[in-house]
Chains A and B, each alone.
Chain A
Amino acid sequence: MKTLFDKLSNVLQRELTRIMAHPRYLIFATLGIAFSYVFFLTLMRDGQPQKLPIAIVDEDGSYLSRRLCHEIEATQGVHVARVYNSHEEARAAMQRQEIYAFLHIPHGTYNDVLAFKAPHIVLYANNAYLLSGTLSYKQLMTICNLAAGAVQREVLRKKGMGEEQIMGLIMPIEIDAHLVGNPMANYQSYLLTTILPGILGLMVILLTVFSIGIESREGTDREWLATAGNRMGVAMVGKLLPYACWFALLQLVGNLVLFGFCHFPMQGSYLTLAVCSILFVLAMMSAGVFFYGLIPQVTNAVCVSAFYGILAFSLSGFTYPVSGMARPLQALSVVFPLRQNYLVYVNEALFGLPLANSYVHLCILALFLLLPLLTNSRIKKQILSHENAA
Chain B
Amino acid sequence: MKMLHNIKQFLEDLAEVCQAEWGRIFGNTGVLLIIFVAGVGYPLIFNGIYTQENLYDVPVAVVDDARCEESERFIHKMDATPEIEVRYEASSMAEAKRLMANRKVNGIIHFPSDYGERLARLETARVGVFCDMSSFLYYKSVFMGANFTMLDEMKQIEFTRYGLTGITGEQANTLVNPVGYDDVKLFVPGGGFTSFLIPALLILVIQQTLFFGVGMLGGTAREEGAELSAVPARLRRRHYDRVVLGRAMAYTVIYSALVAVDLFLIPRLFNLPHIAQVDQLALFLLPFLLSVCFLSISCASLFRHRESGIITLVFSSIILLFLSGFAWPQSSMPDFWRHFSYLFPSTHAVQGFVRMNSMGATLHEVSFEYLMLWALTLVYFVTACLSVGSGVRRCAHRHSYRRRVHDTV
Contacts and interface: CB of A to CB of B under 8 A. Distances in A.
B377 interface: no
A125 B183 contact: yes
6 closest A-B pairs by beta carbon, nearest first, are A95-B361, A151-B178, A49-B332, A182-B133, A128-B358, A127-B185
A165 B167 CA distance: 14
Interface string A94-123: 111100100000000100010011111111
A129 to B, nearest CB: 7
B68 to A, nearest CB: 13
28 contacts: A28-B308, A51-B332, A94-B359, A96-B365, A113-B178, A116-B171, A118-B174, A118-B177, A123-B181, A128-B273, A130-B191, A147-B179, A148-B178, A148-B180, A152-B175, A165-B122, A173-B127, A173-B157, A175-B126, A179-B139, A180-B130, A182-B133, A190-B133, A310-B317, A319-B135, A319-B136, A325-B51, A353-B101
A86 interface: no
Given A129-B196, A315-B49, A169 B135 contact: no
Interface string A130-172: 1111100100010011011001100110000100110111111
B386 interface: no
Contacts of B106: 321
Interface residues of B, number: 106
A95 B310 contact: no
A27 interface: no
Interface stretch (B5-13, B145-153, B243-251, B391-399): B145-153
Interface string B328-367: 1111111011000000000000010011001111000110
A120 B150 CA distance: 20
Given A95-B361, A131-B327, A321-B55, A122 B182 contact: yes
A120 B180 contact: yes
B196 to A, nearest CB: 4
B180 A119 contact: yes
A121 B51 contact: no
Given A173-B150, A203-B315, 13 more contacts: A28-B308, A95-B360, A122-B182, A128-B358, A132-B329, A152-B176, A169-B158, A177-B129, A181-B134, A187-B136, A306-B310, A320-B135, A357-B102
B172 to A, nearest CB: 11
B36 interface: no
B193 interface: yes
**Range class of the A interface residue count:** 35 or more
Interface of A: 25, 28-29, 32, 36, 39-40, 42-46, 49-53, 64, 91-92, 94-97, 100, 109, 113, 116-134, 137, 141, 144-145, 147-148, 151-152, 155-156, 161, 164-165, 167-182, 185, 187, 190, 195, 199, 202-203, 206-207, 210, 213, 298-299, 302-303, 306, 309-311, 313-315, 317-321, 323-326, 329, 346-347, 350-351, 353, 357
B298 interface: no
A321 to B, nearest CB: 5
Nearest to A325: B49
Contacts of A314: 46, 49-50
B59 to A, nearest CB: 9
A170 B124 CA distance: 9
Q: Is the interface of A mostly helix, strand, loop or mixed?
A: helix
B264 interface: no
Interface stretch (B226-234, B253-261, B318-326): B318-326
Contacts of B33: 303
A130 B192 contact: yes
A303 B103 CA distance: 34
B162 to A, nearest CB: 7
Contacts of B313: 306
Contacts of B195: 128
B131 A179 contact: yes
A322 to B, nearest CB: 9
Contacts of B368: 96
B48 to A, nearest CB: 8
A318 B33 CA distance: 30
B24 interface: no
Given A155-B175, A324-B55, A131 B329 contact: yes
Interface string B299-323: 0000000111011011101110010
Contact of A95 (B322, B328, B329, B355): B355
